[in-house]
Amino acid sequence: MHILHCDLDAFFASVEQRDHPELKGKPVVIGAPPNSRGVVSTCSYEARQYGIRSAMPSSQAYRLCPQAVFLPPDMKRYQEESRKVFNILAEYTPVIEALSIDEAFLDLSGSHSIWGSSMAIGHHIRHRVKSELGLNISVGISTNKFLAKLATNLCKPDGIMEFTDQMVVDLLPTLSVDNLWGIGSVSAQRLNHSGIYTVQDLLDAPEQLITSLLGSNTGFILGLAKGIDNRPVTPYEETKSIGNEITFPKNVSDSLAIEQVLLRLSEKVAYRLRRAQLKSHTITVKLRTPDFHTLSRSKTCPTAVNDSRSIFDVARMLYQQSGQEGKPLRLVGLTAGRLQGSEYEQLSLFANSGPDISSVIDRLNQKYTSGTIIPASLLDNHERNQ
């Protein structure tokens, strides 16, 4: 039992309730405002009693509980609190895999001689996060990642649980299939349609049927169903893509307005690439129509780039070739993929000379609000005249 999973309870909402005592005991919803097109990011357990859930449209959350307090997320604060939590975790093992801002796996195989059993470490962590940061963190312990996370999900909020070998035999088979990592709503529905509802149903079904429903994931999923998961705790994963997207308050048809948005997204993505010392070979533009149909168009270039001009040029071309010019859109996104370290950059035979304007912009952006400084040379005349 050397894998520990921990998950901060209703993290964003808990930080707000801790810092604003008048919110304690009240339904608090962190996310987009109710009159917008956004969704709920997190909500307090009081709000969950009304049926409010993460990813639910804020408008629906409002209808379920009009008296709820709706707050926009303050990601800077949450990042800071998250950092403090991870600093505590790092005292118990160097092998930590962050799953998100509020969740992590710890491999404790080297920690027992100093700190005792996994259960003892779990209690330690929970006590310290509570007393030092005023936050509840739930802890699951088991022999692998899947079972540890399952334990957390079963014991939260404010709980600790060890998922034992006996529970693999007695409890796991009784759970619904969507408890398995990788079974989302589509796969769950597919399985249900074939009469498969529980993990036991899955184990009893002919493997050929499961393969026809789940494809190449079948082996991994059937392993989980038996409590087997050989994935290691991996402290560092290389970034594969960097992207930003925006959903408009109202659909936008004007192609010049869309191009301006693409320009701002290019600047944002380029800045993030440079901060990560990365360049990208593949630019992808994502467009979503009012009927929620999503298209993507991508282009791979021989030279990797991380300046907004190059990215914007590709993005604009992809938009213009998408057949969506002048048509209403509800979302526009831009992603840079096929990344490589910019320090290994090959010198182009025809490299541009001249001052590196990007680094000047980066310094200004760091000083002021990120993404606000855009060189006028990137703007077309019609934009400058507006």
Partner DNA sequence: TCTGGGGTCCTAGGACCC
3-state secondary structure (DSSP) of residue 284? strand
The stretch among 85-93, 108-116, 182-190, 366-374 that binds DNA (CB under 7 A) is 182-190
Distance of CA 59 to the CA centre of its chain: 22
Rounded CA gap, 327 and 322, in Å? 11
Kindly state the tokens that stand for 21. 């005592």
Q: Work out the widest C-alpha separation in the chain, in whole angstroms.
A: 71
Site string for DNA, 230-269 (x = CB under 7 A): -------x-xxxxxxxxx----------------------
Name the nearest CA neighbour of 148 among 202, 99, 187.
99
Asked if 192 touches DNA (CB under 7 A), the answer is no
Q: Which is nearer to DNA, 251 or 358 (CB)?
A: 251
DSSP 331: E
User: Residue 283's beta-bridge partner residues?
Assistant: 299, 336
Structural contact between residues 102 and 82, judged by C-beta atoms closer than 8 angstroms: yes
Site string for DNA, 128-157 (x = CB under 7 A): ---------------------x--------
Asked if 338 touches DNA (CB under 7 A), the answer is yes
Asked if 300 touches DNA (CB under 7 A), the answer is yes
3-state secondary structure (DSSP) of residue 101? coil
Site string for DNA, 92-131 (x = CB under 7 A): -------xxxxx----------------------------
Q: Which is nearer to DNA, 120 or 295 (CB)?
A: 295
Rounded CA gap, 194 and 208, in Å? 13
Could you list the active site residues?
103
Could you give the count of Cα atoms lying within 13 Å of 70 in the half-sphere of its Cβ?
A: 21
Structural contact between residues 36 and 177, judged by C-beta atoms closer than 8 angstroms: no
Number of residues counted as binding DNA (CB under 7 A): 55
Query: What are the two backbone dihedrals, phi and then psi, of residue 311, each rounded to the nearest 5 degrees?
Result: -65, -45
Asked if 59 touches DNA (CB under 7 A), the answer is yes
Asked if 75 touches DNA (CB under 7 A), the answer is no
- Minimum CB separation of residue 253 from DNA in Å reads 17
The stretch among 52-60, 162-170, 203-211, 378-386 that binds DNA (CB under 7 A) is 52-60
The stretch among 116-124, 133-141, 210-218, 365-373 that binds DNA (CB under 7 A) is 210-218
Kindly state the tokens that stand for 120. 């003892």
Binding site for DNA (CB under 7 A): 32, 37-39, 41, 54-55, 57, 59-60, 63, 99-103, 149, 181-188, 215-217, 237, 239-247, 272, 281-282, 291-292, 294-300, 330-331, 333, 335, 338
